[in-house]
Amino acid sequence: MNRRGMWGQLRRAGRIARVAMRHRLDWLLEGVGLPVAQLPLPARLLFRFHPGRLLPKPKEQPARRLRKALEDLGPVFVKFGQILSTRRDLLAPPFAEELRLLQDRVTPFSGDEARQIVERALAMPLDEAFAEFVTEPMASASVAQVHAARLHDGSEVVVKVIRPGIESVIAEDIALLYGIAGALERFWPEARRLHPVDIVRDYERTIGDELDLLHEAANTSQLRRNFTRSDLLYVPKVHWDFTRRNVLVLERIYGVPISEVEHLRAAGTDMRKLAERGVETFFTQVFEDNFFHADMHPGNIFVDIDDPADPSYIAVDCAIIGQLTENDQNYLARNLLAFFHQDYYEVARLHVESGWVPAGTDVHEFERVIRGVCEPIFQKPLKEISFGHFLITLFQTARRFEMEVQPQLVLLQKTLLNIEGLGRQLYPDLDLWHTAAPFMERWMAQRAGPAAAFRNFAERAPELIEQLPHLPALLLQAGRAVDRLGTIARDQQVLLARLDAMQQAQTRTRKRRRSAGVLALLAGGALLAPAVAAADPSAAMVPAGFLGLLGVWLILGRD
């Protein structure tokens, strides 16, 4: 790192320390069990005698102080807190709920600077690319801001521009976060359970995706293609000719923000249909397309109410996308259905079978624990049972059995919580189980059974037909391969027999050498005995000693 970068990090670290003192985060760390006595001496002295100790003891709740500290530290830490709030499998509920309130209230950068960034990225004057470009931003967030514009063909668009210099700020802050996380893991046993380094790594990957607008554009195009023939979700078109790594141009959409519930009701929107369509949209993305928008907070979702009786969704900001492996899809659906049917043994068995918990886990013990956690949930009416909170409870319970929650499952849990929360905000009587269970049962039926087997065969039929003319040659090659395997097996048997014969020969040689060694020792003794008896041992010492050494070498020497 160069000197300028080092001083930048030191200044940033100093600012973090000042904010931490102002919000008395030292009390928060002590409250959650930081082992101060185990810290290195300089850190221990600083912790005990820093100037912030002169400030009065804080009255606000620790979770609220942490949220305010992140807000004071700026947009990068706000974004980190937002992502951290999704890790409900790790955080205590008060912290998760408080961090969820973090919003990107970021001062916009200069519109003239945005124009310059766009011109440099497109390598053309702004007037050549756009018939109109509004300098005043429509919205400003931690990583980018958005401007309205119009193309020369009359298309209304929005232009998303990455903040200037944000990459270096993020790099410095991530380096500091890694340092803090590493220190916590090193000196605080409780922090190791929370995996702070892994959390920072997830954040680095997520914010890296948000910095690359080509990545977001590709995600947007794929999601749009997935719903081309569906009325459930509309995704704006990407204008690729004007899109670069730090500039994204999208079709401008008009809709009502999902958070404006009173506006939706006043327009006569069918709120039940809207809520149920949200659930259907989510499960379609997860199970049918295996490509789901994983950042569906209220700021990214709009509603098309051109026909209030038949409302649909509009999604923007596709930087964060989740995908599951085929096995995860299958096991997740079966887990949720088993839970719905209160088959706890099946839930436990599926966790072991899928590899989510170690193979040696006692399934019956795991079943007993899951039953103890889940039975109280089923005492509520189905419409009051939260799918998302069930997943949180299940993951937290499974952690006792050494389950490591995978990033794609965390994204899924976060998205489901958002969808479920929005759905019940729109229509409080939403029964997510009633809406989701038939969808999953239908999906499982399509994936298993005779219909699925026939469909798989039909999908592979062209490939099979293409290979039919080559079938005799393939069979002949297979027969030759089997013959070669047989020959290899026979050669291996011969080789093993030879190795066995060599081992037996070595054993016989070893025995003969040991016998010869014993005879040499006896011969040496026989030569020495008469000389000793005649009181002249020197006469036989040399030949007797030679025979003795030869005997020892023959007995102890290597083969």
Task: Report CA torsion sign: 469, 475, 480, 482.
Answer: positive
Nearest of 202, 199, 204, 203 to residue 182 by alpha carbon? 199
Strand partners, 244: 247
Residues 477, 527, single domain; the answer is yes
The one catalytic residue among 26, 173, 295, 431: 295
Position 70 confidence tier, pLDDT thresholds 50, 70, 90: confident
Task: Establish if 302 belongs to a structural domain.
Answer: no
Task: Establish if 204 belongs to a structural domain.
Answer: no
Number of domains present in the structure of the chain: 3
Q: Is residue 127 annotated as a catalytic residue, yes or no?
A: no
Question: Inter-axis angle of helices 326-340 and 407-426, to 10 degrees?
Answer: 50
Helix (H) or strand (E) holding 536: none
Task: Establish if 499 belongs to a structural domain.
Answer: yes
Residues 441, 520, single domain; the answer is no
User: What CA–CA distance (Å, rounded) separates 280 from 274?
Assistant: 10
* DSSP state string for 222-252: HHHHHTTT-SSEE-PPB-GGG-BTTEEEEE-
User: What CA–CA distance (Å, rounded) separates 41 from 524?
Assistant: 72
Averaged pLDDT, 396-414: 71
Nearest of 548, 158, 448, 108 to residue 316 by alpha carbon? 158
Helices (H) and strands (E) in the chain, counts: 23, 11
pLDDT tens for each residue of 315-372 = 999 988 888 888 888 888 888 888 878 888 998 888 888 777 888 888 899 898 888 8
Q: Exposure string (b/e) for 506-543, b if CB count within 10 Å is 16 or more?
A: eeeeeeebeeebeebbebbeebbeebeeeeeeeebeee
Both tokens of 283, joined, read: 């499960």
Domain end, chosen from 67, 87, 105, is at 105
Both tokens of 399, joined, read: 């952690």
Give the per-residue pLDDT at 536.
53
Residues 390, 487, single domain; the answer is no
pLDDT tens for each residue of 256-279 = 998 899 999 999 999 999 998 988
Give the per-residue pLDDT at 99.
79
User: What CA–CA distance (Å, rounded) separates 549 from 559?
Assistant: 17
Both tokens of 384, joined, read: 């009051």
Task: Establish if 298 belongs to a structural domain.
Answer: no
What percentage of residues in the chain have a pLDDT greater than 90?
Answer: 24
> Phi/psi zone of residue 317: left (φ > 0), alpha (ψ -120 to 50 degrees), beta?
left
Task: Establish if 530 belongs to a structural domain.
Answer: yes
Q: 108-112, 267-271, 500-504: which range is least confident on average?
A: 500-504
Task: Establish if 168 belongs to a structural domain.
Answer: no
Averaged pLDDT, 67-83: 78
476 phi/psi in degrees, rounded to 5: -65, -45
The answer on pLDDT for 533 being more than 50 is no
Please tell me which residue, 247 or 283, carries the higher pLDDT value: 247
Both tokens of 544, joined, read: 């007797």
Domain range for 376 is: 322-448
Residues 483, 541, single domain; the answer is yes
Residues 438, 326, single domain; the answer is yes
Domain end, chosen from 56, 85, 105, is at 105
Averaged pLDDT, 442-447: 79
The answer on pLDDT for 510 being more than 70 is no
* Angle, alpha carbons 140-143-145 (nearest 5°): 30
Give the per-residue pLDDT at 88.
61
Nearest of 257, 250, 259 to residue 219 by alpha carbon? 250
Q: Are strands 156-162 and 247-251 parallel, antiparallel or unpaired?
A: antiparallel
User: What CA–CA distance (Å, rounded) separates 62 from 374?
Assistant: 30
Residues 422, 529, single domain; the answer is no
Helix (H) or strand (E) holding 471: helix 471-533
**Residues 349 and 395 sit within 8 Å (Cβ to Cβ):** no
Position 426 confidence tier, pLDDT thresholds 50, 70, 90: confident
pLDDT tens for each residue of 123-155 = 999 999 999 999 999 988 888 999 999 999 999
Residues 428, 486, single domain; the answer is no
